[in-house]
Amino acid sequence: MDFSKKHILDIASLAPEEIIFILDTAEALKEILSRPIPKVPTLRGKLVAHLFFEPSTRTRLSFEKAAKVLSADVFNFTARMSSVEKGESLIDTVLNIQAMGADLFVIRHPNAGAPHLIAENVNTKVINAGDGFNAHPTQALLDLFTVREKKGSLKGLKVAIIGDIRHSRVAHSGICAFRKMGAEVYVSGPATMLPSEREALGARVCYRLEEALKDADVVMALRVQKERHGRALFPSIREYARQFGINAERLALAKDDCLLMHPGPINWGVELHPELEKDPRSVILEQVTNGVAVRMALLVLLLGGGA
């Protein structure tokens, strides 16, 4: 098929067949990463601009790795070392970078909707690398890729997402993505961090952790988004770990061959018990590797002609 999208801003705007095409493309490109010299000339001459207004490790570095494997040129923008500190607006910033020849913007921003605003005001292609607690589409795609790679299919799986659902862009995009591909999604966490049934995007809201974990094919733990709360939503970190932290006993409620996932960064001893760090069901580091392959696929599809 031809991939006609100009931007990747959220999961909601992607049709299931487009998601499958992205995953198939990532599967084909992942092989490059295992070569003695992981480098191809596919995007030689293209310029990818990384605009990160929030801290990032995995997302920023995997986008940079993806671009360099494909031979694209890269420059990295950080707000603290730019004219944003002098009062320059977001749109003026991106228009100036566009004028330098950028072919694609990868943007992370603390305000929901910022990538959409940029996409409406530039000719350059845009990938949303996370906006506020709204969306993180590339994380959802790499999670789909990882589960499909391990399970062979996404349809009919039970996916349990545990933690700070209300404030997590990973959860919002993940729920949408897994449900589009035919999986059932259950969410659980402290009541103050759960969406209402109406806001749950079709996921089943479970106030009892055991209900979400029971017979799950995939268990995904999320970091507590303390920086987005503005107020205390639970008594203490220790209490959160006691009530909702995933340990071996709780993971035993899921299927024996379940996958344990986390988008990172992990607070060991809070979301996940340290005893799970080397658990054979964990695919957390594989998520990181697959993130490079998925982001390679998106760069190729957006900048390489879409075929």
| Cα–Cα distance measured from residue 303 to residue 307, given in angstroms and rounded to the nearest whole number | 10
Tokens linked to 53: 């207004």
Q: What global pTM score does this model have?
A: 0.94
| Cα–Cα distance measured from residue 290 to residue 174, given in angstroms and rounded to the nearest whole number | 15
Query: Is 238 an active-site residue?
Result: no
Output the tens digit of pLDDT for each of the chain's 307 residues: 788 899 999 999 999 999 999 999 999 999 999 999 999 999 999 999 999 999 899 999 999 999 999 999 999 987 666 566 667 899 999 999 999 999 999 999 999 999 999 999 999 999 999 999 899 999 999 999 999 999 999 999 999 999 999 989 999 999 999 999 999 999 999 998 898 888 889 999 999 999 999 999 999 999 886 554 445 566 688 889 999 999 999 999 999 999 999 999 999 999 999 999 999 999 999 999 999 999 999 999 999 865 5
Amino acid at 58: R
Dihedral of the alpha carbons of 119, 122, 127, 131, in degrees to the nearest 10: -50
| Cα–Cα distance measured from residue 118 to residue 123, given in angstroms and rounded to the nearest whole number | 9
Catalytic site residue from 7, 25, 59, 223: 59
Catalytic site residue from 7, 60, 136, 223: 136
Tokens linked to 176: 């949408």
Query: Is 223 an active-site residue?
Result: no
Query: Is 58 an active-site residue?
Result: yes
Pick from 165, 210, 172, 171: nearest CA to 192: 165
Query: Is 7 an active-site residue?
Result: no
What DSSP element (H or E) covers 161? strand 158-162
Query: Is 281 an active-site residue?
Result: no
231 alpha-carbon distance from chain centroid: 25
Catalytic site residue from 7, 46, 60, 108: 108
| Termini Cα distance of the chain | 7
